[in-house]
Amino acid sequence: MNPSPASASSPAAAATAFWTDFQATKAQLTDRIGQLQRAVATSSPPQAHTLLQALFQDIVLLEGRVTQALVYLPPYDERNYKVQLQELKEAVKALKAQIAPRPKFGFSRRHTPTVPSPTSTPSATVCSPTSPTPGHLLVASSNPLGTQDRADSGPDAALVVQDVQDSVRTLEPLSISSTFASSPTVCKVQRCRNAVVNLVPTQGNIRSLQLTHLTRCVILVGPVDGSVYLEHCTQCV
């Protein structure tokens, strides 16, 4: 490409001269790209990469000349030059992809997964029951009036459920004496922790209910004829 026509008499004349020079250089680059494309289509020439690199360098030089000429080129011509330069770059990029060596095709070998043979059979571990601790599952009690329950006698007889921990205590009608079954009585639940006390089977024969010193307990009860007294109960329902 000839030197930039900076010595032209006017910017318009300089732009016209640069346009003519640019088109001539672009035509030469396009012809070189076409020749290399035809050569690659038949057989890859040994100097293809060298010729391709020279083409790219000449396009970069032409782009630099356009940048220098922006001082007198109108905005429309500037955009037009950039579009044509981009077309040259795309043609070189496509030619580079065509020249690049293609990976060889091959069948991948399938690997058969090996299954390890069992060496030993895990034996079942039998855990012996231990004493219940807070936070463990509650164990249902089959004795409604166990060792920790008692039925007081006398005029102020009361049914007492006490010291139940980490278990479920259910009072059944058959376990209540005839004295309690004939008339409502007082029921006391005291000093229990992490327990469920089921008083529903008493069938409403409760005159009053006293709940004292209970921690994290659930009390299930039906209708109560009189009052319900609570004292020192923590996290209970």
Q: pLDDT tens track of the chain, all 237 residues?
A: 554 555 556 888 998 999 999 999 999 999 999 888 888 877 766 788 888 889 889 999 999 999 999 888 888 888 899 999 999 999 989 888 887 766 555 556 666 666 665 555 544 444 333 444 444 444 444 444 444 455 555 555 677 888 988 888 887 654 444 455 556 678 889 999 999 988 877 666 777 888 999 999 999 888 888 888 889 899 898
- How confident is the model at residue 105, as a pLDDT? 56
State the Cα–Cα distance between residues 159 and 140, nearest whole angstrom.
20
pLDDT, one tens digit per residue, over 41-72 is 777 667 888 888 898 899 999 999 999 998 88
pLDDT score recorded for residue 58 = 93
Domain ranges of the chain: 11-99, 139-234
How many whole angstroms from its chain centre is CA 91? 45
Whole-Å CA distances, 42 to 37, 38, 48, 97: 9, 7, 12, 16
CB-based burial label for 151 (10 Å; 0-12, 13-18, 19+): middle
Architecture of domain 11-99: Up-down Bundle (1.20)
Q: Are 150 and 176 in contact (CB under 8 A)?
A: no
Burial readout 94-108 (b: 16 or more C-beta within 10 A, e: otherwise): ebeeebeeeeeeeee
Evaluated on CA atoms 49, 51, 54, 59, the torsion sign reads negative
Under 8 Å between Cβ of 86 and 63: no
Rg over CA atoms, the chain: 50
Closest CA to 166 of 215, 96, 115, 101: 215
Residue 1's pLDDT is what?
A: 52
Neighbours of 198 (CB within 10 A): 19
- 221: Cβ–Cβ under 8 A, 6 or more apart, which residues? 187, 199, 200, 202, 206, 209
Cβ-count burial of 208 within 10 angstroms (0-12 exposed, 13-18 middle, 19+ buried)?
middle
Tens of pLDDT along 93-108? 988 888 776 655 555 6
Task: In whole angstroms, give the CA distance from residue 232 to residue 185.
Answer: 22
- Contact call for residues 196 and 171 (beta carbons, < 8 A): no
pLDDT of 140 reads 45
Structure tokens at 171: 């009072």
| pLDDT for res 151 | 54
- For residue 59, the model assigns a pLDDT of 93
